[in-house]
Amino acid sequence: MLGSIFRIIDIHLEGRVWIIQMKLSSDNDHDLKLIFDHMKNELAGGGETNLLSFGIVLRKMGKFDAAEKYYLRLLKTLAHDHPDIVNCYHALGVVAREKGDYDSSLQWHQKSLEIKMRTLESDDPGLAHSHNSIGNVYDTKGDYRRALESYEKALVIWQRAFGEDHWKVAMCFNNIGGIYQEEKRYSEALKYHQKALNIRQKCLPVDHPDLGESHNNIASVHGCLGQYDFALKHLNQSLRISKKSLPPRHPDIGITLENMGNVYENKGELQAALSYFKKAATIYHDALPSNHPNIVKIEELIRRVSSKLK
């Protein structure tokens, strides 16, 4: 089956052995192969994967506890001057944010950034990676001023390094759009999310998860504007992409389902809203720690809609 690739279904730890459940995908599964090739380039710049790559795969599957354990074990095995230490700190920061531990996330990212600032040029793309991730944490914590400052630092560096039509530039536009949405600057939010989508459509495979994220974010702005039919159109596109490119219990699918529930609640279709909230809750409970903010929020949404139906 030379040239075939595998779709990863599940990864878990049994004792001291990693069990990877995979499904063979044929050579004809062209869209999946494009996504696989792009992720390989993202992980290793198109070359051989490094020690961090397995942890990145775990994280992208939503296996945050497993990814964290892998990175912490990896840190113990690396020499004090190993070049992967700074990347390991960064990866632990990303995982901590995904788990809802925002203070730890900032600490890991700051450790990574401090090393990079000592060892890299001021316009090195690696610095932008740290600034963007620190922005993600501040964004999630609701500190939008600091988040925007970090995103703009990352954007300037990446635009100089890669030009406009690059997926990392699109990621910054996407993040800045999210800040403007939180600040209720909906016209600017929509502009930045659309810029992100346009770039991603140019440089990413047709069913890449980032395209699903863009559709989700555009839908969210339309929902805030009361444009529910436009919102559902983009959410359905996001859900289709996510189901094709992500594991079935990935938190990103839960986020899309939650957003669909929000739209239906705003439309007054409470049974549909409750159905989508429960589907999202099932995924969150399976994929996230029990105290994760997403779980707390979805349970409150379920209680609220259920009380309206009584």
> 100 — alpha (psi -120 to 50), left (phi > 0) or beta?
left
- Residues paired with residue 290 on neighbouring β-strands, in sequence order: none
pLDDT, tens digit (0-9, with 9 covering 90-100), for 275-297: 999 999 999 999 898 999 999 99
Residues contacting 243, CB < 8 A, separation 6+: 253
* Between 54 and 263, the higher pLDDT residue: 263
Neighbours of 182 (CB within 10 A): 13
pLDDT, tens digit (0-9, with 9 covering 90-100), for 49-80: 456 777 887 887 778 888 898 899 889 888 88
Distance between first and last Cα of the chain = 57
pLDDT, tens digit (0-9, with 9 covering 90-100), for 240-249: 999 998 888 8
- Whether the pLDDT of residue 107 is over 70: the answer is yes
pLDDT, tens digit (0-9, with 9 covering 90-100), for 146-173: 999 999 999 999 999 999 999 999 999 9
pLDDT at 32: 45
- CA gap 118, 113 in Å, rounded: 9
Give the phi and the psi of residue 21 in degrees, each rounded to 5.
-95, 120
pLDDT at 49: 46
Structural domains of the chain in order of their starting residue, each with its CATH number: 1-49 (no CATH), 64-163 (1.25.40.10), 166-232 (1.25.40.10), 247-310 (1.25.40)
- Whether the pLDDT of residue 48 is over 50: the answer is no
